[in-house]
């Protein structure tokens, strides 16, 4: 006999739930190049150059290259495609959106022509650069002959009386997806059983994410005798992440026709960091850059909720047997400390004809840390240390000057941060093309950027095995910057 429908939110339940995992630390530590169209057109290879606002988020010494004050604004059009392979089935989704990649103001406090001081210029900059995009739409589907997600709920429930179950195992029990074999003796190896005793179930999961990481920068720096440039930036990073996912299973061989599990997570956070940099010109044609970024100290607030629905074929009083259970929204406050990073750069200026530039960036993702006054993150921090590794990122770019037209191009490589095949994130590879029209007072830049990578996404872990999907993601971006010099 089925139990009476009820749902009790236990007061102590938040003590049993930690919604965050090591994936959260990686999400806010892994950033790519973003900002102005000129910066994007050269794949972000600006660490030894400057004279572009986006360099203030890479090497703030670049602010010493500005000879005039300027203001700029950069809208961006983006499209990403996700192809998910799961049990020999391929699903594809596309996502299109418009965003703001950059806006900023640079004030040259001491122009080149002002006097004969060895400090040729001193400038101050304030504005915004987009560092990461989270917008995506992914669908994973296929027929599974090996397991059901109910296996995970069942195994996680073992050894616990029903009234003491945590989320989402309690919701599965409350909607009759798992049941209890013995209410007294917990000595059974598997006292819980699922409603899918026979497999070959149709599984589908849709994951929609929105948000990103943007950085407000406040920078100051200067140029000493056209030989040495120094600069510093104070960064305030704004992180927003929202995920709405729904996992569904269907079967033709049991009384349970279908069930679904929805998760909703919304994260908001603010982080702070400092960046320091220098650029050295041993000769006018060669620029050597070095920059150091402190860890970003984030404070986050998560709001998350779960819902499970079940639909049985057997009718009760002439109606389909349908059950639903959900929890109240839970809040969680925690901190993330991203790793420090170092960037070395070199650029060659070929007279008035062009530029060739390269950046190498080092970051050890295993150094990220999470902490909270509410929970103990020791296990998660150990996972970060063991699952993540150093990232070696490379950006190459060039610019050909046929005044007033400028042609640009570049390639980028962001090394994989994962050392495990569980939720492994592959290297992000990309290329870019750019075009610019400049006058004495106005500049219009256009850039196209294409990138691609793969992710091994874990749907669930059922004890002796892991169900995961290989997802290929491509992203195309068209960036436009309109600016004025004064």
**pTM for this entry:** 0.88
Q: Encode pLDDT of 162-194 as tens digits.
A: 888 887 888 988 898 887 765 455 444 445 566
CB 166, CB 484: distance < 8 Å: no
Q: Is residue 181 part of a domain?
A: no
Range of the domain at 304: 22-148+196-485
Q: What CA–CA distance (Å, rounded) separates 109 from 69? A: 8
11 CB contacts (<8 Å, ≥6 apart)? Answer: none
Pair 40, 451: CB distance under 8 Å: no
Question: Is 342 within the bounds of a domain?
Answer: yes
Task: Look at residue 136 and tell me if it is in a domain.
Answer: yes
CB 280 within 8 A of CB 288: yes
What residues of the chain score a pLDDT lower than 70? 1-19, 111-116, 181-199, 316-320, 420-424, 463-464
Peptide bond into 410 cis (omega under 30): no
Q: Which pLDDT does position 20 carry in this prediction?
A: 80
Nearest-CA neighbor of 285 among 357, 336, 363? 357
* Count of structural domains within the chain: 1
Range list of β-strands (E), 390-486: 390-402, 405-414, 428-438, 442-461, 466-485
Q: CATH number, domain at 443?
A: 2.40.160.60
Q: How far apart are CA 379 and CA 277, in angstroms?
A: 35
Amino acid 179: pLDDT: 78
Q: Which two tokens stand for residue 55?
A: 């360099």
Q: The tokens of 258 are what?
A: 């279908």
Q: What is the reported pLDDT for 199?
A: 65
Phi-psi region of 257 (alpha: psi -120 to 50; beta: other; left: phi over 0): alpha
C-alpha–C-alpha distance, residues 475 and 477, integer Å? 7
For 28, phi then psi, to 5°, come to -95, 0
Q: How far is CA 441 from CA 70, 358, 404, 428, 482, in A?
A: 9, 28, 12, 36, 11
Question: What pLDDT, on a 0 to 100 scale, did the predictor assign at position 486?
Answer: 93
Contacts of 215 (CB under 8 A, 6+ apart): 57, 128, 129, 130, 131, 235, 236, 237, 238
φ, ψ at 115 (rounded to 5°)? -155, -170
pLDDT of res. 320 = 65
Query: Within a 10 A sphere around the Cβ of 442, how many other Cβ atoms?
Result: 11
Do residues 64 and 53 touch, judged by C-beta distance below 8 A?
no
The structure tokens listed for 323 are 């059950």
Q: How far apart are CA 49 and CA 454, in angstroms?
A: 32
Query: Token pair of 109, please?
Result: 């406090």
What DSSP character marks residue 297?
A: E
Whether 310 and 256 have beta carbons less than 8 Å apart is answered as: yes
**Domain membership flag for residue 271:** yes
Residue 2 lies in a domain: no
Whether 217 and 296 have beta carbons less than 8 Å apart is answered as: no
pLDDT for the residue 124: 97
Q: Which of 291, 396, 390, 274 is nearest to 344 (CA)?
A: 291
């Amino acid at each position: 006999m089925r139990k009476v429908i009820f749902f009790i939110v236990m007061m102590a339940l938040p003590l049993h739930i930690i919604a965050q995992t090591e994936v959260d630390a990686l999400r806010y530590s892994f950033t790519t190049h973003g900002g102005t169209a000129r910066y994007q057109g050269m794949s972000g290879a600006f660490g030894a150059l400057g004279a572009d606002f986006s360099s203030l988020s890479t090497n703030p010494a670049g602010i010493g290259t500005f000879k005039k004050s300027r203001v700029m604004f950069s809208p961006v059009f983006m499209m990403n495609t996700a192809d998910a392979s799961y049990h020999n089935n391929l699903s594809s989704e596309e996502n299109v959106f418009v965003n703001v990649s950059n806006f900023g103001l640079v004030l040259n406090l001491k122009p080149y022509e002002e006097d004969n001081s060895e400090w040729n210029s001193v400038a101050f900059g304030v504005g915004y650069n987009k560092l990461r995009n989270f917008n995506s739409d992914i669908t994973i589907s296929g027929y599974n002959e090996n397991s059901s997600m109910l296996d995970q709920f069942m195994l996680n429930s073992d050894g616990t009386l029903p009234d003491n179950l945590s989320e989402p195992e309690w919701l599965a029990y409350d909607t009759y997806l798992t049941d209890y074999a013995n209410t007294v003796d917990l000595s059974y190896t598997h006292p819980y059983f699922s409603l899918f005793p026979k497999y070959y179930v149709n599984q589908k999961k849709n994951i929609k994410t929105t948000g990103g990481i943007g950085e407000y920068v406040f920078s100051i720096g200067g140029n000493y005798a056209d030989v040495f440039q120094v600069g510093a930036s104070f960064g305030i990073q704004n992180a927003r992440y929202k995920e709405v996912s729904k996992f569904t299973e269907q079967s033709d061989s049991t009384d349970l026709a279908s069930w679904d599990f929805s998760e909703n997570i919304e994260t908001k956070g603010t982080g702070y960091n400092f960046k320091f940099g220098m650029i050295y010109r041993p000769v006018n044609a060669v620029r050597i850059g070095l920059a150091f970024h402190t860890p970003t100290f984030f404070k986050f607030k998560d709001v998350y909720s779960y819902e499970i629905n079940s639909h049985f074929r057997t009718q009760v009083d002439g109606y389909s047997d349908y059950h639903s259970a959900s929890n109240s929204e839970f809040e969680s406050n925690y901190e993330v400390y991203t790793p420090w990073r170092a960037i070395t750069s070199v650029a060659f200026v070929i007279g008035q004809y062009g530029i060739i530039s390269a950046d190498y960036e080092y970051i050890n993702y295993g150094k990220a840390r999470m902490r909270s006054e509410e929970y103990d993150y020791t296990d998660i921090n150990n996972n970060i240390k063991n699952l993540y590794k150093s990232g070696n990122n490379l950006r190459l770019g060039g610019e050909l000057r046929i005044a007033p037209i400028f042609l640009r191009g570049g390639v980028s490589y962001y090394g994989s941060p994962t050392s495990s095949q569980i939720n492994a994130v592959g290297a992000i590879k990309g290329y870019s093309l750019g075009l610019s029209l400049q006058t004495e007072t106005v500049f219009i830049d256009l850039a196209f950027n294409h990138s691609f990578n793969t992710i091994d996404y874990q749907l669930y872990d059922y004890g002796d095995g892991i169900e995961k999907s290989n997802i290929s993601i491509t992203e195309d971006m068209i960036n436009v910057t309109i600016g004025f010099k004064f």
